[in-house]
């Protein structure tokens, strides 16, 4: 205002514009670290604001900072708010004059951390000089946390410099936020049993050696009142009629639906609901995106952020091979299928955008063939968001959960599909493992290398060309990328799979391809037997209760935050 009053309009506007940028944009990348200074500024702004608020309210009510860990839990949800740790130390030491040891004890007993990914490109690291320039006091506090931690680590693993430098927060000119989060938290968890296990055995192995008690698991869940009751009212009504409405509050009650697994009336009702949901969804995408699909075909769906590790490309290569089969023999016995992709790619993620382009061009070429397009349709739905997902999940029949084993921390899309009665074709990755355990091997189509087998394959030296040369179908499909679709070559994708300068096929699409096709064949055989399929679908719904967010949240409250529920009268 002062600048404004003095007639320096531009300067006044510039300052307020700069201030607004702090909370203006949310970086849209997923599982990828953007090392931009604005992002660091945003993280610090939000951490500092939240912590100042928490401490002010705590002191107003309880007068003392000493009991903060008993009454407050601060949870670091992924590393994005990891600056909470040094910021809490700053407030305690600088503003409340608590000595370092006491402040560290309070911080460690207050803060806990959930890791959400093991992908190296997503682990937040900041350039140390940039960080020091932007946040000098926070930097000096991190240095002291790091100095003391390294001294402790030296006591635990004297002489093992490699281990200590792997664990250090500051290393090679970087500030490593995952390391800071583990060092400053009383509890660290992954988001599925497999992922939590991988944290202990790989990513955080050194810390697990030092602090074995610190590590635990909380398998993710979904809001079942949103993804079932609200999104799929027809299915919710059938459940109300068969098992009563108690499952709406207590998702575990869904298990009572299993008693209807051989009830022809209920199975037919389930079938009819899926048909009507498919018709509704077809109308919805015609209205909103001008896309026309035939609701009498199988809805085979892969809906999730576009990422190499999620392997939308492996799905596309299978579609290419189906297309080639129909080109060779238009009468080939193929169940008419609509392949539905829905995804967003991060801006600047070139490989992801090239895969989207491939799917769109492949779909366009198939559309031009009047015979083949009766059996095969490929659609790419733009702007994949929660509203689209709410419409899509109730209509899905096949759920594609085909990430390379060891890469998907949990997945939640897998749970949304399951609770809406879709059957999963999936790898033993993330929460798929627990879905398979609960639903039973006969009600899911599991395939592919397991996480330890993937490790072993890298160790032996993975050559994608071995798989390419071994499988005639795969070879034909990959070769076709050269000529491409609808007038555009996708040679770059073929090169990525076979002739990369670094590692070819880094997410092992080729190694899992034949297994994928086998699992798909089993799924489509099951689909052709309607009563069997409907029974399998029912068993998926009946076993989805564990994956309700209510269960996840109560595990966090009980095991990590030590918070007990309030009664409804309170």
Site residues, ligand PLP (CB under 6 A)? 304-305, 384-386, 389, 411-413, 416
Q: Minimal distance in Å, beta carbon 386 to ligand PLP?
A: 5
Q: Minimal distance in Å, beta carbon 248 to ligand PLP?
A: 20
> Cα separation of 468 and 480, whole Å?
13
Q: Which of 416, 480, 520, 535 is catalytic?
A: 416
> Cα separation of 254 and 258, whole Å?
8
Q: Which of 297, 412, 424, 427 is catalytic?
A: 412
Q: Of the candidates 554, 560, 563, 558, which has an alpha carbon nearest to the alpha carbon of residue 111?
A: 560
Here the tokens at position 562 are: 């030590």
> Cα separation of 225 and 373, whole Å?
37
Contact (CB, 8 A) for 551 and 438: no
Q: Which of 116, 132, 205, 234 is catalytic?
A: 116
Nearer to ligand PLP, 289 or 465 (CB): 289
For residue 300, the cross-strand partners are 339, 398
DSSP state of 403: P
Q: Minimal distance in Å, beta carbon 416 to ligand PLP?
A: 6
Q: Which of 80, 176, 278, 304 is catalytic?
A: 304
| Reduced 3-state DSSP string for 273-339 | HHHHHHHHHHHHHHHHHCCCCCCCCEEEEEECCCCHHHCHHHHHHHHHHHHHHHHHCCCCCCCCEEE
Residue nearest to ligand PLP (CB): 413
* 304 catalytic residue (yes or no): yes
Nearer to ligand PLP, 107 or 414 (CB): 414
Nearer to ligand PLP, 72 or 222 (CB): 222
Nearer to ligand PLP, 87 or 429 (CB): 429
At 474, which helix (H) or strand (E)? helix 472-483
Q: Minimal distance in Å, beta carbon 385 to ligand PLP?
A: 5
Nearer to ligand PLP, 75 or 344 (CB): 344
Q: Which of 176, 310, 407, 449 is catalytic?
A: 310
Count of C-beta atoms within a 10 Å radius of residue 59: 13
> Cα separation of 267 and 255, whole Å?
16
Q: Minimal distance in Å, beta carbon 392 to ligand PLP?
A: 9
Contact (CB, 8 A) for 329 and 368: no
Nearer to ligand PLP, 279 or 386 (CB): 386
CA-CA-CA-CA torsion sign (31, 114, 207, 432): negative
* 416 catalytic residue (yes or no): yes
Q: Minimal distance in Å, beta carbon 30 to ligand PLP?
A: 8
* 412 catalytic residue (yes or no): yes
* 305 catalytic residue (yes or no): yes
Q: Which of 195, 200, 214, 305 is catalytic?
A: 305
Q: Of the candidates 123, 117, 91, which has an alpha carbon nearest to the alpha carbon of residue 106?
A: 91
Q: Which residues are catalytic?
A: 116, 304-305, 310, 412, 416
């Amino acid at each position: 205002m002062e600048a404004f009053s003095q007639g320096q309009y531009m300067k006044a506007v510039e300052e307020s514009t700069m201030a607004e940028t702090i909370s203006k944009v949310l970086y849209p990348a997923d599982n990828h670290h953007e090392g931009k200074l604005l992002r660091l500024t945003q993280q610090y702004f939000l951490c500092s604001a939240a912590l100042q608020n928490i401490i002010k309210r705590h002191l107003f009510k309880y007068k003392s900072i000493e009991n903060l860990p008993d009454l407050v839990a601060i949870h670091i949800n992924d590393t994005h708010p990891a600056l909470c740790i040094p910021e809490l130390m700053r407030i305690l030491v600088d503003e409340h004059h608590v000595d370092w040891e006491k402040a560290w004890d309070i911080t460690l007993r207050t803060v806990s951390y959930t890791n959400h990914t093991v992908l190296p490109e997503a682990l937040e690291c900041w350039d140390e000089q940039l960080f020091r320039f932007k946040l000098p006091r926070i930097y000096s506090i991190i240095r002291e946390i790091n100095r003391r931690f390294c001294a402790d680590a030296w006591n635990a693993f004297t002489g093992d410099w490699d281990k200590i430098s792997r664990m250090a927060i500051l290393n090679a000119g970087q500030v490593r936020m995952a390391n800071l989060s583990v060092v400053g938290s009383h509890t660290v968890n992954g988001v599925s049993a497999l992922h939590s296990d991988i944290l202990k055995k790989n990513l955080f192995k050194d810390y697990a050696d030092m602090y074995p008690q610190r590590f635990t698991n909380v398998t993710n869940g979904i809001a079942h009142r949103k993804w079932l009751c609200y999104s799929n009212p027809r299915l919710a009504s059938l459940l109300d009629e068969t098992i009563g409405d108690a499952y709406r509050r207590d998702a575990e009650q869904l298990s009572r639906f299993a008693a209807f697994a051989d009830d022809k009336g209920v199975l037919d009702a389930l079938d009819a609901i899926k048909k009507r949901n498919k018709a509704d969804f077809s109308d919805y995408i015609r209205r909103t995106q001008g896309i026309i699909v035939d609701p009498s075909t199988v809805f085979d769906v892969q809906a999730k952020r576009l990422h190499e590790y999620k392997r939308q490309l492996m799905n596309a290569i299978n579609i290419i091979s189906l297309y080639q089969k129909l080109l060779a023999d238009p009468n080939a016995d193929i169940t008419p299928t609509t392949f539905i992709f829905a995804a967003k790619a991060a801006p600047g993620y070139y490989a992801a955008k090239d895969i989207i382009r491939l799917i769109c061009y492949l779909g366009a070429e198939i559309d031009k063939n009047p015979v083949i397009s009766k059996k095969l349709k490929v659609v790419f739905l733009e702007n994949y968001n929660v509203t689209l997902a709410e419409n899509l999940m109730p209509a899905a029949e096949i759920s594609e959960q085909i990430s390379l084993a060891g890469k998907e921390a949990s997945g939640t899309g897998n749970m949304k599909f399951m609770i809406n009665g879709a059957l999963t074709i999936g790898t033993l990755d993330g929460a798929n493992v627990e879905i398979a355990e609960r639903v039973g091997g006969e009600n899911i189509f599991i395939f592919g290398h397991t996480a330890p087998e993937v490790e072993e394959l890298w160790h032996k030296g993975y050559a994608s060309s071995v798989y390419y040369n071994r499988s005639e179908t795969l070879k034909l499909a990959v070769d076709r990328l050269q000529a491409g679709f609808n007038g555009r070559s996708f040679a770059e994708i073929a090169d990525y799979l076979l002739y990369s300068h670094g590692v070819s096929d880094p997410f092992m699409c080729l190694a899992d391809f034949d297994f994928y096709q086998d699992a798909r064949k089993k799924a489509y055989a099951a689909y052709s037997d309607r009563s069997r399929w409907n029974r399998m679908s029912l068993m998926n719904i009946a076993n989805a209760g564990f994956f309700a967010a209510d269960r996840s949240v109560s595990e966090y409250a009980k095991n990590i935050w030590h918070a007990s529920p309030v009664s409804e009268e309170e």
